[in-house]
Amino acid sequence: MLKALYTACVIIPIGFAVFMMVYLLCQKKAQVILCTECQQCKAACPLLSKGCNPMSIMLAAKSVGNQEVMEQCANLCVGCGKCQEACPRGLAPFLELEKWRTVPNQVHTEGKEWTVTQEKKAA
């Protein structure tokens, strides 16, 4: 019984964390893993009052499914780089936005090339 509890409380969460790290590395999101959410970028962003939050960009990039934040910030961020200057690790949230701007309109096929989705071809 104790072994099952240990497995459920320790091994499974560690396995999940390792899986997520490998997944993010495979998706070329190592920068997202390194973010410690210290909020230094948030303090430096000149567009924070308008709704562009660099820390939210990094959190949205980690969670993959949070597209509303990425859409809002993609329309506001000008890529000034002040968030990168303020970050103690030198991470650049605006680069995550650049990746997001290019990838949603494309589909990765068989690990060899990028092709445009059928929706874009039809347009």
The span from the CA of 83 to the CA of 73, in Å, is 13
- State the chain's mean pLDDT as an integer: 77
**pLDDT, tens only, 79-110:** 899 999 999 988 899 888 888 888 754 443 33
Confidence at residue 37, expressed as pLDDT on a 0 to 100 scale? 87
Q: Give dist(CA 71, CA 100) in Å, integer.
A: 9
pLDDT on residue 83: 92
According to DSSP H, which parts of the chain are helical? 2-6, 12-26, 30-34, 40-44, 54-63, 67-76, 82-86, 93-102, 118-122
Q: What does pTM read for this prediction?
A: 0.60
pLDDT over 90 at 16, yes or no: no
More confident site: 71 or 8: 71
Would you state the structure tokens that stand for residue 107, as one six-digit string? 């589909």
Write out the two tokens for 31: 């920068």
Q: For 33-87, how does the pLDDT look when each residue is reduced to its tens digit (9 = 90+)?
A: 788 889 999 999 998 888 888 988 888 887 766 778 888 888 888 889 999 999 9
What are the φ and ψ backbone dihedral angles of 114, each rounded to 5 degrees? -100, 130
Among 103, 106, 105, 82, which Cα is nearest to 93's? 82
**Tokens linked to 33:** 């893993």
Report how far Cα 39 is from the mean position of its chain's Cα atoms.
Answer: 15
